[in-house]
């Protein structure tokens, strides 16, 4: 018996320790460079629209709450841009809009928001093109219009073009000559920020996201020396100048967003090692020395809202996940920003052949590390939707088995919305309908962006328990059809755009609408349950009738009887005593309602 008790305690402790958090960022990267994730169809508008719908359905089913969609893989656009031509990946021809016309970014935004997911627009800041034939680019492409902005940085040996993201640790990112926009030119930085802001100003995106392609992975060999000489800004060290070029871009973008839509999040996904040797035991290519970008400087300056370092390594070795991730978490937490780890589930099925346990281990480690608020997975079709080694199944059935609310950002907004008004709950045999009215805007002008519905078999509902989140729906909704059957209690709240949550409105049993006509008797769950010393039980009938309600112990012995005559709804209270008025012992009891030959029952738990 002692052994069984110990094993049971271990199992219970494990379940509670592994309970998903209530607030967690859950996203997938959708790569359009080389059409890796989208579009996979043969440039057909209807097929691309179907792809978007199917991808978002798959993410929604796995309880993802965000999508990071690549809108600018190389100075071209997956949206109606005022600055750059349509991407050749959409139609096969640079500058040619989809026909029949549709706007992919707008379609992704609409689809994500309909499913109550965030949409972050992902930009490559400096890559000129993913085309193998630069001369075929549209005449309005920057390659043709501004050759003076371009910087050729020589051949980089390494991996095959069709899998350009395969091995970010190798330092060899591309076989071809690399042509980028020159980060040292002020006019280039202004242009890139204008491209970002074109999307921010004209689309309802929740965030903008910059990837890790700053200076090339193959390194620099003085190709930008003429720009350094022409625009040094007081620097004498070219490496420090290059890092400042990137800092100015990140800062300029952040300030521009704050000026027009301060609720839009700004994030960057740098290479996963900041400096070689930091923290101790970590070796390899680094953001600081090799790519000339300094994420720690952005954090200290407050010019990003979140960092998504690409931690594409296992536990152990010179790029140990178990060392790198906690270092990032501590660094980002100390600067009051968010860490959403970039994961590489595709490495379970490429030549790395990671074990099926590696990614779940990483997610669990994130959750047990203060300062880590979520995960982003590279990438949609090779890492998520192809279900490598059952990883998508593990998300659906275990790690993401409950919905999660995206983390709040107090430095952007900490004022919650007002809660839903006039909340009511009605029950019949077909459905349980929750209704409410929308509240007035909060003091900062925010109205509900989403509604959270909680459900529990006990009252009151615990809103801190993520397993009680029943649904997250659109903020302009005023009703929700809950599944019929079961004895449940509900609570409801509102979220604003940045996921600040209103007060929780508990729907007490006394607020349940018993006027709706059921087609069979309903015996509602008692409250409280467990109880001591007394509990109340509501019932509802399909017609006026005599009712017998009895309490039995688990052996079937009658404990107490209550008779109600000619009624359609009502309640009884039991004080835990038998017919003689003597208290009964603690335990599980059965409450049975009988009317016109029909019976229904519930269980009661009496505590002492």
Distances (CA, A) of 140 to 71, 87, 125: 18, 12, 18
Give the pLDDT confidence of 109-132 residue by residue, as tens digits.
Answer: 999 999 999 999 999 999 999 998
Q: Residue-wise over 496-516: b if at least 16 C-beta within 10 A, else e?
A: bbbbbbbebbbbebeebebeb
How does residue 486 score in pLDDT terms, banded at 50, 70 and 90?
A: low
In CATH, which of 3.10.180.10, 2.70.50.60, 3.20.20.80, 3.40.50.1580 is domain 21-399?
A: 3.20.20.80
- Percentages (nearest 5) of helix, strand, coil residues in the chain: 30, 25, 45
Q: Residue-wise over 31-40: b if at least 16 C-beta within 10 A, else e?
A: bbbbbbbbbe
Give the neighbor-by-neighbor strand order of the sheet with 505-506: 469-474, 450-456, 489-495, 505-506
How does residue 160 score in pLDDT terms, banded at 50, 70 and 90?
A: very low
Q: Tell me the domain boundaries of the chain.
A: 21-399, 421-512, 517-606
How does residue 218 score in pLDDT terms, banded at 50, 70 and 90?
A: confident
Q: What local confidence, expressed as pLDDT, does residue 507 receive?
A: 85
How does residue 487 score in pLDDT terms, banded at 50, 70 and 90?
A: low
Which residues, at least 6 apart from 230, have a Cβ–Cβ distance to it below 8 Å? none
CA distance 188 to 382: 33
Q: Which of 81-85, 337-341, 411-415, 584-588 has the lowest mean pLDDT?
A: 584-588
Look at residue 146 and tell me whether its pLDDT is greater than 90.
yes
DSSP labels for 52-102? HHHHHHHHHHTT--EEEEEEESSS-BSS--SSSPBPHHHHSSTTPPPSS--
Look at residue 8 and tell me whether its pLDDT is greater than 80.
no
How does residue 511 score in pLDDT terms, banded at 50, 70 and 90?
A: low
CA distance 557 to 551: 9
* Homologous superfamily of 421-512: Immunoglobulins (2.60.40.10)
DSSP labels for 283-305? -S--HHHHS---HHHHHHHT--S
**Which tokens in the block code for residue 240?**
């420090």
CA distance 115 to 336: 29
Q: What local confidence, expressed as pLDDT, does residue 11 receive?
A: 35
Bridge-based pairing state of the strands 66-72 and 118-123: parallel
Q: What local confidence, expressed as pLDDT, does residue 508 receive?
A: 72
CA neighbor of 104 nearest in space, from 75, 70, 140: 70
Q: Tell me whether the CATH fold assigned to 21-399 matches the one assigned to 517-606.
A: no
CA distance 48 to 258: 33
Look at residue 302 and tell me whether its pLDDT is greater than 50.
yes
Residues 10-37 have a mean pLDDT of 78
How does residue 517 score in pLDDT terms, banded at 50, 70 and 90?
A: low
Look at residue 447 and tell me whether its pLDDT is greater than 80.
yes
Q: What local confidence, expressed as pLDDT, does residue 9 receive?
A: 37
CA distance 75 to 130: 9
Q: What local confidence, expressed as pLDDT, does residue 509 receive?
A: 61
8 A C-beta contact, residue 275 and residue 316 = no
DSSP labels for 328-368? HHHHHHTTT-EEEEEE-GGGGTSTT---TTHHHHHHHHHHT
For domain 517-606, which architecture applies?
Answer: Sandwich (2.60)
């Amino acid at each position: 018996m002692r052994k069984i008790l110990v094993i049971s305690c271990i199992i219970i402790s494990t379940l509670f320790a592994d309970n998903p958090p209530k607030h967690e960022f859950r996203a997938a990267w959708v790569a359009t460079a080389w059409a890796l994730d989208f579009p996979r169809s043969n440039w057909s508008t209807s097929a691309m629209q179907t792809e978007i719908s199917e991808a978002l359905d798959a993410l929604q089913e796995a309880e993802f709450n965000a999508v990071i969609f690549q809108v600018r893989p190389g100075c071209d656009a997956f949206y109606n841009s005022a600055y750059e031509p349509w991407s050749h990946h959409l139609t096969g021809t640079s500058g040619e809009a989809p026909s029949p016309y549709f706007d992919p970014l707008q379609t992704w935004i609409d689809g994500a928001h309909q499913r109550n997911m965030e949409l972050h627009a992902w930009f490559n800041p400096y890559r000129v093109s993913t085309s193998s034939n630069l001369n075929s680019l549209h005449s309005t492409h920057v390659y043709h219009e501004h050759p003076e902005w371009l910087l050729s940085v020589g051949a980089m040996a390494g991996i095959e073009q069709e899998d350009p993201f395969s091995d970010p640790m190798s330092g060899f990112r591309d076989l071809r000559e690399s042509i980028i926009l020159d980060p040292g030119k002020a006019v280039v930085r202004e242009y890139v920020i204008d491209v970002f802001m074109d999307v921010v100003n004209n689309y309802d995106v929740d965030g903008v996201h910059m990837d890790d392609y700053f200076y090339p992975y193959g390194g620099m060999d003085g190709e930008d020396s003429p720009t350094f000489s022409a625009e040094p800004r007081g620097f004498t060290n070219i490496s420090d100048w290059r890092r400042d070029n990137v800092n100015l871009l990140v800062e300029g973008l952040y300030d521009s967003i704050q000026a027009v839509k301060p609720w839009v999040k700004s994030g960057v996904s740098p290479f996963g090692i900041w400096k070689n040797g930091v923290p101790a035991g970590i070796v390899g290519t680094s953001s600081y020395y090799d790519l000339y970008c300094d994420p720690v400087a952005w954090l200290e300056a407050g010019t990003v809202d979140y960092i998504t370092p690409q931690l594409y390594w296992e536990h152990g070795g010179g790029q140990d996940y178990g060392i790198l991730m906690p270092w990032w978490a501590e660094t980002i937490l100390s600067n009051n920003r968010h860490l959403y780890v970039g994961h590489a589930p595709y490495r379970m099925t490429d030549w790395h052949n990671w074990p099926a346990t590696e990614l779940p281990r990483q997610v669990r480690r994130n959750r047990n590390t203060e300062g880590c608020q979520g995960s982003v997975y590279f990438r949609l079709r090779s890492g998520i939707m192809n279900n490598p080694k059952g990883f998508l199944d593990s998300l659906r059935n275990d790690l993401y088995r409950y919905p999660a609310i995206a983390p709040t950002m107090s430095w952007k907004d900490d004022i919650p919305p007002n809660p839903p008004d006039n909340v009511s709950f009605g029950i019949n045999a077909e459905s349980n309908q929750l209704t409410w009215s929308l509240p007035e805007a909060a003091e900062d002008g925010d109205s509900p962006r989403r509604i959270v519905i909680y459900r529990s078999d006990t009252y009151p509902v615990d809103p801190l328990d993520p397993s009680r989140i029943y649904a997250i729906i659109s903020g302009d909704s005023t009703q929700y059809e809950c599944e019929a059957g079961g004895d449940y209690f509900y609570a409801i709240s509102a979220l604003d755009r940045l996921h600040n949550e209103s007060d929780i409105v508990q729907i007490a049993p006394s607020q349940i609408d018993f006027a709706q006509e059921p087609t069979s008797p309903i015996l509602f769950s008692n409250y409280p349950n467990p109880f001591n010393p007394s509990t109340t039980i509501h019932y509802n009938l399909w017609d006026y009738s005599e009712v017998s309600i009895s309490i039995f112990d688990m052996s079937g012995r009658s404990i107490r009887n209550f008779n109600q005559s000619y009624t359609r709804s009502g309640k009884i209270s039991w004080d835990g005593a038998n017919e003689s008025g003597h208290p009964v012992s603690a335990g599980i009891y059965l409450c049975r309602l009988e009317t016109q030959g029909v019976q229904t029952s519930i269980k009661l738990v009496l505590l002492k």
